[in-house]
Amino acid sequence: AYHLPRNKGWAQVFGQTSDEETPDFYRPRPFSRSYVVHLDDWYAQSHPDEDFAETFAVWLTPGLDWRNRYAGWKALQKLEYVDELMRSLMGKPPLHTPPYRVAAYNCLNLKLKTYYARKRKLYEDTYPGFYDADLRQLFAAPAGIKASSYLRLRRRRLLNAVCQWTNEKKYRVNELLTRLIERCDHLGLNVHNDDPQEDFRVSAFITTLVMNYLFTGKFKRTK
């Protein structure tokens, strides 16, 4: 309504915008201080429009002292720009109010079979058996303690270690561990309790899944 992306200052602060949609996958920089952190997955880094939207959301958060929260961050410059911009627009009517228009669907030429195949590919890591082959290889002992019990006993230690070195949120890693434990139970997998290398292999496996998620949006690379 205010044509903000056309503003020269907007482009200098957030970058050039475009009509392209936010990409499904992007490579975030978890430790970057050039962007605010609001939604999960460092969403502000996905697109200049989302960078502005996330910065605006932080600026708008009631009770948040964003100057103190982002002190020393380059993202503070974006917040200060948004603060100045919003104050300059206060009381001014929109420059443009587009009329309501019903979306046209006559351009859709994708078969439902193709659509759902793509959806399945996009969300394949949410299917229950997605990690089965890896788990069978990781916990291949014919006898021993249950792999699910092994993971439950070491859950907190694995969670803390993986989160410390990947900077991923604990709840997401915890959800991943829950899924792996459930699949181990379902598959009836076992592990040698006296194998000194098992902790290392399991930690490496989970860390690899999390790093794949950070850089591709999926826990596991597939063809």
Rg of the chain over all Cα atoms, to the nearest angstrom: 23
Domain count across the chain = 2
Q: What is the pLDDT of residue 100?
A: 61
> In this structure, are 206 and 154 located in the same domain?
yes
**59 in any annotated domain:** yes
Structure tokens at 118: 């793509």
Q: Are 111 and 98 in contact (CB under 8 A)?
A: no
**116 in any annotated domain:** no
- Does residue 92 or residue 163 have the better pLDDT? 163
How many other CB atoms are found less than 10 A from the CB of residue 19? 4
The rounded mean pLDDT for the chain is 80
Buried (b) or exposed (e) across 41-68, using 16+ Cβ within 10 A?
bbbbbbbbbbbbbbbbebbeeeeeebee
- When pLDDT is cut at 50, 70 and 90, the band that residue 90 belongs to is confident
> In this structure, are 77 and 139 located in the same domain?
no
User: Which residue range is the domain that position 53 belongs to?
Assistant: 4-89
> In this structure, are 130 and 212 located in the same domain?
yes
Share of the chain above pLDDT 70, in %: 73
Model-level pTM?
Answer: 0.48
Query: What average pLDDT score do residues 175-181 get?
Result: 90
